[in-house]
Amino acid sequence: MALRTTISERQRRLGAELRKLREQAGLTVSEAGGLIGMGRVHLTHVEAARTAIPTPRLRALCESYGCTSATYVDALVCLSEDKGKGWWSAYKGKLPASALDLAELEAKADALASYESLFIPGIFQTEDYTTSIFRADDEVNTPEAIETAVGFRMARQGILTGERPPEVHAVIHEAALHMRFGGAAVMRKQLLRLIELSELPNVTIQVLPFAAEGVSTLSTPFLVLSSHGRALQTVLLETPAESLFLHDAEPITKYRKQFDRLRAAALPPIDAKVSPATHETRDSLGLIQYVLYTL
């Protein structure tokens, strides 16, 4: 039995879900493996994502664990049978594995909920804005590396207008509108891009103003991805050291509640069809237009 030398987030997620189901059923690895004619070592490798599991055995294992949600079991089968190939495969070996994992997750997502405090979300960025960010990056430090990183980020934006575009809801802190990445002209183009993207039926963009009440000013950026009929959810936290993919119930609930607080405190979404002058209160479009005026 050949074991994987490289493990993707999708494969890691399947193993984690199976381990969680087994533990909830109160079974040891040996007991669970015996239910489907699989040895303890083999099932240990499956849960560690070091090897695959055939679909009939996967379904039998879920049934043995008492899992009754057909939607959830089908989601696990999709994780197992998916080959993990896509446009991002061309970047293998050129970018960190976590970047490819994110692109694969986004491609399968039904919904994205993001909060950014200092940057415009990656899938909303213009090419010039992205380039200015990577030029200041210590890790991406050659023209070739910058070109690759920028091209990858631009390719990720294809999900916004694809055949099955996910629902995207972004809350962006006002501070991100004032950060001068690339200078005033680049920022002006970037802010206009936000207004343009808000016209897509699947995109909602809100700005969290400096004056917002009831939310922590120290809220860290995060992304919540829902996939497979929203049966699976993942929270992504990006740090200078690593990207963390969380999928346990507790952190997902925590960040879901945090996002609800942020969007409730944020200004009403950008609506380019309605003039800010007709609104009785401030809205996201009005604030963006004000920042544009001051650039």
Residue 235 confidence (pLDDT): 97
Cβ atoms within 10 Å, residue 276: 18
Positions of the chain with pLDDT lower than 70, given as ranges: 1, 216-218, 274-281
Return the axis-axis angle of helices 40-47 and 9-25, rounded to nearest 10°: 130
- Extended strands (E) in 106-261: 109-116, 167-173, 203-208, 222-227, 232-238, 243-246
In 3-state terms, what secondary structure has residue 111?
strand
Q: How many helices, marked H, and strands, marked E, lie in the chain?
A: 12, 6
Residue 240 confidence (pLDDT): 80
Residue 218 confidence (pLDDT): 56
Among 165, 153, 5, CA closest to 91? 153
pLDDT in tens, 36-71: 999 999 999 999 999 999 999 999 999 999 999 999
pLDDT in tens, 218-235: 578 999 999 999 999 999
Q: The pTM is what? A: 0.94
- List helix spans (H) across 109-183: 127-135, 143-156, 174-178
Residue 258 confidence (pLDDT): 94
Tell me the domains of the chain and their CATH numbers. 9-81 (1.10.260.40), 87-294 (3.30.870)
Residue 219 confidence (pLDDT): 72
Virtual CA dihedral for 237, 243, 247, 253, nearest 10 degrees? Answer: -10
Residue 271 confidence (pLDDT): 86
Q: Categorise residue 285: left if φ over 0, alpha if ψ from -120 to 50, beta otherwise.
A: alpha
